[in-house]
Structure 1
């Protein structure tokens, strides 16, 4: 676990006593002084469900505010899980970047902050940086596992319910990670080699916690089948991890997961021109390097042929852009290959 040196305490205070037993629901208060409210604070919903001895696990959503599936699932955990079924502690954050979630935006309207690009944060920084600092220093230091529920948001759609994790260099840790992926049991699970150093997965690694990172549909909408699959998997993995017991834990995971690998260098397809995006492949397709991936049309220059984008590698299409209007640098597709 990384030590903190010379950092001031977080300005965030919690209405919930994270050291107490039972179920508590309240807010993390982030001081926020603005014209309309000189002595105000931002209300970040938080809950703790604790009972007896066992692991502490953080389940969070709303890291990106336009990703709705996880916000529904974490809220359901808060409503439906009784302390009698818990051994240890569940810390639950349904709207981690509250300003972004309230606005339905990937980033915060207060500072344009992307929470999953803001770790380790700064207790004296912008609101998003302060939230990142609190999660890393005050919450991740308490837990053994963090489960972060994402989706493709407004601009992307994943192929159903999927799960990401970072390869653990320790063989024992890697075995534990793979067991958790299988226990979650989403149809597809991806193993990445190196975490983004400013993302939550890297923050969890710095704090000695295992991290699971779900991508649940997207496209700015909510799909009942994806929610049902993710709910069963979430309850099953919480049972596997030893924090949840009793009738809430399903007898089996929802699927036998397929393990895949994502290569940051070759598995992302980006636009190199502005234009209207015409996809030439769909979610679940197997594609080959050099195969046409998309056309980018330019009606403002109708004499020009559409720009063609090719797949840079072999793989399975696991994620596709949703909006047709596209700019140079936008992600069009994500691929994965069997592990």
Structure 2
């Protein structure tokens, strides 16, 4: 049977009306408790005349908290007079995962940022991805998606993006990073499977895109949050949707890193308890011991030694000590001048 292309989601908020409004996207879902029910996804829209349209998202993964709080604070505090154009804000876009505090939805195991462009007749998470791809993104010029490391890992405080190959688009994207100006900025090259992520839909539809990694480990990092809180108004002014108040401070300097997807990743080669030998943000060299995995069921065995295969700076580190074969333990980046 041919897939239905029209989204089944409905919005309680008119995306085109002037002013400020909030409500829910209704995701149809039939369950044991509600045969004809729907899942509420909070949405807010602020519109004031002509100007760029910008989509702000957080909560694609429910265990990433800084971005959710960042956008909830924004939607409560922003006024129509502050805006020139339109903001569409989804502070908890994968609502079931947000409610459960889990990376994926407990309803359908849906990882929203791996399901684009979605499916109008699919699972609830696929339907949300389809709505973003088919309804929201075609209406906006920019999309900024706020992530953290989640329960399983922790990042240096950073904004990041997959570097476009086209020079003008690359320059525009680097401009986002410099305006947001987290302590660190990460350019990713060589990513595979990007078409299944939000960035793939943004690329296909010509929408400028930037994301973040605001800490992680399933906790709320106040220092990293404050840096993002200062950076968001700069970013929104940079793209022209937030009016200047005449009192803006200059963006601080950000340290740039290049991460080549598929390289610089260190994976567990045994199952057990990880004794990490390096810290987040530390410079390491090829051959250096990254950590050892201890075997709790056979504690008399020598632990498995895991080494770095290249030089770099640790930009990502696994949080739980318990690990298994195939888990990502570390990711390395190389400092670059931009």
Q: TM-score range by the shorter chain?
A: over 0.9
Q: Counterparts of 2:34 and 2:86 in 1: how far apart (Å)?
A: 35
**Aligned position for 1:124:** 121
Distance 1:332 1:116 in 2: 21
Structure 1 residue corresponding to 2:95, chosen from 98, 104, 109: 98
- The structural deviation recorded for 1:249 is 7.3
> 1:260-284: CA deviations, max 9, x gaps?
1111121211101101011111011
Q: Do 1:153 and 1:220's aligned partners in 2 also have CA atoms closer than 8 Å? A: yes
2:308 aligned partner: 311
Task: Provide the C-alpha distance between the structure 1 equivalents of 2:247 and 2:335, rounded to a whole number of angstroms.
Answer: 29
Aligned to 1:167: 163
Q: Tell me if structure 2 keeps the 8 A contact 1:23–1:48.
A: yes
Would the aligned equivalents of 2:295 and 2:303 in 1 still touch at CA under 8 Å?
yes
Instruction: Report whether the alignment pairs 1:328 with 2:318.
Output: no
Partner of 2:183: 187
SS of match in other structure, 1:30: strand
Classify 1:163/1:122 alpha carbon distance in 2 versus 1 (closer, same or farther; 3 Å).
Answer: same
Query: Do residues 338 (structure 1) and 329 (structure 2) align?
Result: no
Q: Which 4+ stretches in 1 moved above 4 angstroms? A: none
Alignment partners' CA distance in 1, 2:189 and 2:318: 24
Match of 2:290 in 1: 293
CA distance in 2, matches of 1:142, 1:334: 35
Q: Taking structure 1 as reference, are residues 111 and 45 closer, same or farther at Cα in structure 2, changes over 3 Å only? A: same
Q: Secondary structure at the match of 1:189?
A: strand
CA RMSD, aligned part only?
A: 1.4
Residues 235 and 248 in structure 1, CA contact (< 8 A), matched pair in contact too? no
Displacement of 1:45 in angstroms is 0.2
Are the equivalent residues in 1 in contact too, given 2:3–2:121 (CA < 8 A)? no
Residues 45, 95 of structure 1: 8 Å contact kept? yes
Structure 1 unaligned segments of length 5 or more: list them. Answer: none
Q: In structure 2, which of residues 52, 56, 64 is the aligned counterpart of residue 55 of structure 1? A: 52
- Structure 2 residues not aligned, in runs of 5+: none
Residue in structure 2 matched with residue 111 of structure 1 by the alignment: 108
Aligned match of 1:68: 65
Mapped pair 1:12 → 2:5:
no
1:134-172 deviation line (CA, Å, top 9, x unaligned): 11111111111111000011111112x201112122211
* Matching residue of 1:206: 204
Contact 1:276 1:296 in 2 (8 A): yes
CA deviation after TM superposition for structure 1 residue 6, in Å: 7.1
Q: Deviations over 1:13-39 (max 9, x none)?
A: 001100111111100001111111122
Asked if 1:134 is matched to 2:131, the reply is yes
Residues in 2 aligned to 1:263 and 1:280: alpha-carbon distance in whole angstroms: 23
**Matched residue of 2:129: which SS?**
helix
Tell me the distance in 2 between the aligned counterparts of 1:186 and 1:278.
Answer: 30
TM-score normalised over the length of structure 2: 0.96
Inter-partner Cα distance in structure 2 for 1:62 and 1:252: 29
The 1-side partners of 2:236 and 2:180 are apart by: 8
What's the TM-score, normalizing by structure 1?
Answer: 0.95
Q: Deviations over 1:155-211 (max 9, x none)?
A: 11112x201112122211111111121111011111112442211111110111111
Partner of 2:237: helix, strand, or coil? helix
Report the number of matched residues. Answer: 333
Q: 1:47-92 CA deviation, whole Å, 9 max, x = no partner?
A: 0011011111111000001101111001011001101010111100
Superposed displacement of residue 7, structure 1: 4.6
Give SS of 2:262's match.
coil
Mapped to 1, the partners of 2:180 and 2:221 lie a distance apart of 19
Q: Distance in 1 between matches of 2:291 and 2:13?
A: 50
CA contact (8 A) 2:6 2:120 kept: yes
> 1:99 & 1:250 partners in 2: Cα distance?
37
